[in-house]
Amino acid sequence: MTDDPRPTIRSVLNERAGIPVDVDTLDDDADLFAAGMTSHASVNLMLALEDAFNLEFPDRMLTRGVFSSVSAIAAAITELSATDAVLPPDGGSR
């Protein structure tokens, strides 16, 4: 994983989050739900982020806040990348 996850997060957001604006025009702290991301789209976002970063979001992170902004997602991924949440190269049990 690169040191800064935000470019990948923005790419995933543009592809999978269903936000009706270019995410690259939003600040890191902009509220993605206010920008048009639905609750259901946040599920797709979570699954796509898991694919992109080869990790799995644990139940304790399934809050609205974790997926509410680029910076919040980056903080969660940085935390998970420092733990055993990262899956082995074959994708583990996911």
Partner 1 sequence: MTSSGGGAIGGPALKVGIDLVSVAAVEDSLRIHAERYLRRVYTSRELCDCVTSSGAPDARRLAARFAAKEATLKLLRDGDQAVPWREIGVRSDRYGRPSVELAGSAAALARRRGIDSIEVSLTHEGPFAAAVVIASVPEAR
Contacts with partner 1 by CB under 8 A lie at: 16, 18, 38-41, 43-44, 46-48, 59-65, 94
CB 46 → partner 1: shortest distance, Å? Answer: 8
DSSP 20: S
Would you say 18 or 30 has its CB closer to partner 1?
Answer: 18
**How far, in Å, are 6, 39, 83, 87, 91 from residue 15 at the CA level?**
14, 16, 27, 23, 21
- Which has the closest alpha carbon to 1: 49, 41, 71? 49
Residue 3: CB minimum distance to partner 1, A: 27
Return the number of the residue (23 or 49) whose C-beta is nearest partner 1. 49
